[in-house]
Chains A and B, each alone.
Chain A
Amino acid sequence: MIFTIAGKELRSLFASPLAWLVLTVVQVILGYGFLKRLDDFLQIQSQLARLASPPGVTELVAAPTYATAAAVLLFAVPLLAMRMIAEERRNQTMTLLLSAPISMTEIVIGKFVGLTAFLLLIVLQVLVMPLMLATSTVLDFGLLGTLTLALLLLAAGFAAVGLYASSLTTQPVAAALIAFGLLLAMLFAGETAGDTLRARGWPVPAALAQVFSPLRNFEPLGKGIIDSYAIACALLLAAGFLVLTVRRLDGQRLRG
C-alpha cells in the first residue's frame, strides 16, 4: 500500500513541469560545477604529482560536487515537497486516501518514499558525472559510495522536513517557505547549538543536538568515514519529522 501511494506521488511529480525543471536546473548547475572543478584539477595535476600522497580526482572533483548537490537540495526539496500534502488538502483529494482502508502512517510513509525515490534520481544524476571519469582514471569507489550514501541520507532528512512543512498549511508556496526556513534554521542553529553545548561541557545534549544538524551528519561520510552515529542521527531526523507529520494529520482529523 505504501508503494501504491509512492507510485502515485511519483506519477504526480512527473506530471508537473516543476519536477522536470528541477531535474534540468540541478543537472545544469552541477554539470557546470563538475566541469569547472575537473578543469581546475587538470591544471594543477602536474603540481599535485609532486606531493607525497596527492589527493585524487574523487577527493578534489567528486566530493565538492556532492557538497554543491547538498546545497542545491536545500532549495529543491522544499519545492518538490510543498504540494504533497498541502495541495491534496486544498483540492480535497486527501479524502480519497483518508476514506480508503489505509492508516495515516502508511499515507505519510508512502508520500515520503515517493519523494525520496524522486530525490534518488537527483542523487544518481550526481553520481553519473564522476562515474564517467572511470573510463580514463582510477576512482576511489569507497569514497564515492559514502558520498552517495551521505547525499541520500541528507535528501531523506530534507524530504521528511518538507513533508512536515506541507502538512502545516494548505498553501503549497507557504509550505515551501516553511520547509526552507526550517532547514536553514537547522543548518545554522543545529550547528551552533551543538558547539555551544559542547563548550559548556554538556556532551549528551550536544550529541543530541547533532540530530538537528544535517550538515554535521553529512561531513564524516563526505570524507569517506563511516560514522554510525552520524548515520543514526540522519535517520532519526527523517523518522522524527515523519512522526510529527503523522501526528499533525491525525490531529487535523480530530480537531480540524
Chain B
Amino acid sequence: MIPDDPALTVCARGLSRRFNSHIAVDALDLDLRRGEILGLLGPNGAGKTTTMQMLTGNIAPSAGEIRICSFDLLEVPARAKACIGYLPETPPLYRELNVGEYLHLAARLHRVAGNRRDAAVAQVIRRCGLKEVSRKLIGSLSKGYQQRVGIAQAIVHEPDIIILDEPTVGLDPNQILEIRALIRELGEKHSVILSTHILQEVEAVCDRVQIMHHGKMVFSDTVAGLRATHNGRSVNIILRQPPAIAVLRDIAGIESVDDEGAGRFRIRFAPGADPTATLVGRAGTENWGLQQLAPAQTSLEEVFVQLTRDEVAQ
C-alpha cells in the first residue's frame, strides 16, 4: 500500500509492465523525496525507460500504483501529470518551430497561465543558456542545443518532479559538465529522477541510487551511504619486485588481494579501513619497487558489476 507521506513526491508500488510475454518491469517499488536527485541505473534493457514512461503516464502499467505529489496517476492523470516535467530519451522536439515558439507551446500545454507564460519562457531560456538560439529553428540546432531545449521543455512549468532519461547521451564532455551542473541546480528546488548507465554521472550528481536489472530493483541506497559502508575501496598497485601474495594479505586493513600477473595486484580494503600509507611505507622499506598505485573502480562500479554480472556472463 502507498504510504501517504507529503515528503514523497513520487511513490510507486508493485509497478509491473509486460509486453506480450516479455516482462519489462517486474514489481518495482520506487520512492522519491522532495529535493532529492535519484539516479536510476542499469544495463541497457533493464527497464529504466519503461519505468520512466510509466511514471510520466506515457504507457499504462500492467499492475501496480503510482502516486505523484499525492495524486494517483491512474485516477487523476491530469493533476498528477501537471507536477511532472519529462525529458524522454529522444527529446520530443518539433523541428519546424523555433525555440521560443516551442517553449511557449510547452508552457501552454502544461497549463502555465497566460500572464506568466512570457516570464516562464524567458527564465527557462536564460537558465538553459538558449538566449542566442531562441529565434532559431529547432531542426537547425546542434545536438547539444537540442538536448538543452529538451530539458527546457521539461522545466518550463516549474514542476515538482523532473524526470530525465539519459540526459547527457551524445553530448561532448563540456556539454556533459554543463548539463550536470544544471541538473544539480535543479535538484536544489525540485526532485529529479535521472536514468543513465554512466556511473560517474551518478556519483557526480545523485543523492541516491537505485539499480535495476531485468526489470527488478536490485539495489537502493544513498551514494554517500554506499561509499561509506559498501565493500570499502579498492586500489590497483604495480610492484617491480613483489613479495609473496600472503605478505600483502597480512597487512592490517586489507581484505583481499588478486594477483593479476606482471607485478600487478588488485587490493581491496576492508570496509572503513585505509591502509594506503602502510602499503606505501612497507613498499619503501622492504624494497618492493613500487611503480604505480591508483584507485581502482569506484565502489559503485563494483556493486553494479556484482549485481548485473549475469548479463556479462551470458
- Indicate whether A100 sits within 8 Å of B90 (C-beta atoms), given known contacts A4-B109, A8-B105, A95-B58: no
Q: What is the bound-complex CA distance between A98 and B58, given in angstroms?
A: 6
A102 contacts which chain B residues (CB < 8 A)?
Answer: 78, 109
Total inter-chain residue pairs, C-beta < 8 Å: 72
B59 contacts which chain A residues (CB < 8 A)?
Answer: 253-254, 256
The closest CB in chain A to the CB of B150 belongs to A96
Number of residues of chain A lying within 8 A (CB) of chain B: 24
B66 contacts the other chain (CB 8 A): no
A97 contacts which chain B residues (CB < 8 A)?
Answer: 109
A103 contacts the other chain (CB 8 A): yes
Residues facing A in B212-242 (CB within 8 A) are none
Interface string of A1-43 (1 = CB under 8 A from B): 1001100100110011000000000000000000000000000
A196 contacts the other chain (CB 8 A): no
Residues facing A in B240-284 (CB within 8 A) are none
Of the candidates B78, B92, B109, B153, the one whose C-beta lies within 8 Å of that of A103 is: B78
Q: What is the bound-complex CA distance between A94 and B58, given in angstroms?
A: 9
Question: Is B57 touching A92 in the complex (CB atoms < 8 A)?
Answer: no
Question: Is A92 touching B82 in the complex (CB atoms < 8 A)?
Answer: no
A47 contacts the other chain (CB 8 A): no
A93 contacts the other chain (CB 8 A): yes
B88 contacts the other chain (CB 8 A): yes
The closest CB in chain A to the CB of B97 belongs to A11
Question: Is A95 touching B88 in the complex (CB atoms < 8 A)?
Answer: yes
The closest CB in chain B to the CB of A93 belongs to B92
The closest CB in chain A to the CB of B90 belongs to A92
Nearest-Cβ distance from residue A6 to partner chain B, whole angstroms: 12
Which A residues have a C-beta under 8 Å from some C-beta of B?
1, 4-5, 8, 11-12, 15-16, 91-103, 253-254, 256
The 3 closest A-B pairs by CB, nearest first: A15-B96, A96-B92, A100-B109
